[in-house]
């Protein structure tokens, strides 16, 4: 069947809850991290790394669209601006079983700007609207947009409302808003995550002015109490670096955001649950550090956390028995935590 002819599902998947989302993060939120994160939270909506439409259409489909079923609910984030290509990728996302397709209108890197991808598209709401309209026509999945509150040269609240209004008119109901502007010249992507000031009040005002839209707030969120407070003003939160560097933060997400009172897996249980996944990866020819590099922060703030990080990041590369080292670390951390951490 040609790519341009999407198949329509008989029973479309219900829309995922976005009360707590783990952000798409280049080089971080790959399928190994997502499998690991899903062990900690049953409900958090996970996102892929951004993948360009060209990579999906012309590249290795299994690499860019493959995932483990356990990762669901899972959203695909696309980078692109060509409406036909976006439509083709949205149809492929539906065929692959994703729960959502998200368009990146927030990445400030020079490399993506040159290809009309990311935050530079905030200056082209007409182009974003055209892409959203094409994706909506190509699939039955929710189509969402992740963007900044503005870019340099187009950073007024009126221009933000114009952007949201045009894209909403094309069929987008959910906007994930990073509460900073993006500086498209002179700052690196990393600096763009820190230097422009956070302006949560702008996102809150956007929700007041567009009460019928689903508004998810993103940017600088690191404390669970701050995240839950945001639900007074918006519909959900998206967390990036904190969910990566301190992943066990997500152990409270199901209870706080989804009223699921079932206990989360303890940290040692997570290590044990990851072991069969690691074994399968090794049997398929993969390297253990492809997975364990995402697990370094599991014990952040607890006794032995530094030892765990050092052994898993350094000693792992010097041993010819990585699974034995993993098992030894599991035993070590279990002994360290047993007297004081009942969640171990």
Contact 42, 260 (CB under 8 A): yes
* Residue for token pair 């690991």: 36
Work out the burial of residue 42: count CB atoms within 10 Å of its CB; fewer than 13 is exposed, 13-18 middle, 19 or more buried: middle
- Mapped onto helix, strand or coil, the DSSP state of residue 344 is coil
Among this protein's residues, is 107 annotated catalytic? yes
> In the chain, what is the greatest distance between 2 CA atoms, to the nearest angstrom?
60
Q: What is the Cα–Cα distance from 77 to 72, expressed in whole angstroms?
A: 14
DSSP structural state of residue 263: P
Instruction: Identify the active-site residue in 89, 107, 139, 172.
Output: 107
CA angle 75, 51, 20 (to 5 degrees): 30
Contact 85, 57 (CB under 8 A): yes
**CA-based nearest residue to 292, from 344, 247, 249:** 247
Q: Which residues are catalytic?
A: 107
């Amino acid at each position: 069947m040609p790519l341009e002819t999407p198949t329509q599902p008989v029973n479309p998947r219900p829309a995922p809850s976005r009360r707590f989302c783990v952000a798409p993060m280049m080089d971080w939120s790959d399928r190994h991290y997502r499998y690991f994160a899903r062990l900690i939270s049953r409900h958090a909506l996970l996102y892929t790394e951004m993948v360009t439409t060209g990579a999906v259409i012309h590249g290795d489909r299994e690499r860019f669209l493959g995932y483990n079923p356990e990762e669901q609910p899972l959203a695909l984030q696309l980078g692109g601006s060509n409406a036909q290509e976006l439509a083709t990728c949205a149809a492929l996302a539906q065929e692959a079983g994703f729960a959502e397709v998200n368009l990146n209108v927030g990445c400030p890197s020079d490399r993506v700007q040159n290809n009309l991808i990311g935050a530079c598209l905030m200056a082209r709401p007409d182009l974003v609207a055209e892409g959203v309209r094409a994706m909506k026509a190509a699939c039955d999945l929710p189509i969402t947009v992740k963007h900044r509150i503005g870019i340099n040269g187009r950073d007024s609240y009126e221009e933000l409302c114009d952007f949201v209004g045009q894209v909403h008119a094309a069929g987008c109901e959910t906007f994930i808003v990073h509460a900073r502007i993006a500086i498209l010249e002179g700052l690196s992507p990393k600096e763009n995550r820190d230097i422009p000031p956070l302006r949560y009040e702008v996102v809150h005002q956007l929700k007041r002015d567009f009460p019928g839209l689903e508004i998810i707030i993103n940017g600088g969120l690191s404390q669970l109490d701050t995240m839950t407070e945001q639900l007074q003003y918006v519909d959900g939160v998206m967390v990036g670096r904190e969910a990566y560097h301190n992943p066990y933060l997500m152990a409270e997400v199901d209870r706080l955001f989804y009223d699921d009172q079932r206990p989360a897996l303890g940290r040692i249980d997570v290590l044990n649950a990851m072991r069969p996944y690691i074994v399968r990866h090794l049997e398929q020819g993969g390297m253990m550090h492809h997975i364990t590099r995402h697990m370094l922060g599991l014990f952040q703030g607890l006794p032995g956390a530094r030892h765990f990080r050092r052994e898993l990041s350094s000693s792992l590369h010097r041993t010819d028995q990585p699974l034995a080292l993993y098992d030894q670390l599991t035993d070590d951390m279990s002994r360290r935590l047993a007297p004081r951490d009942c969640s171990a």
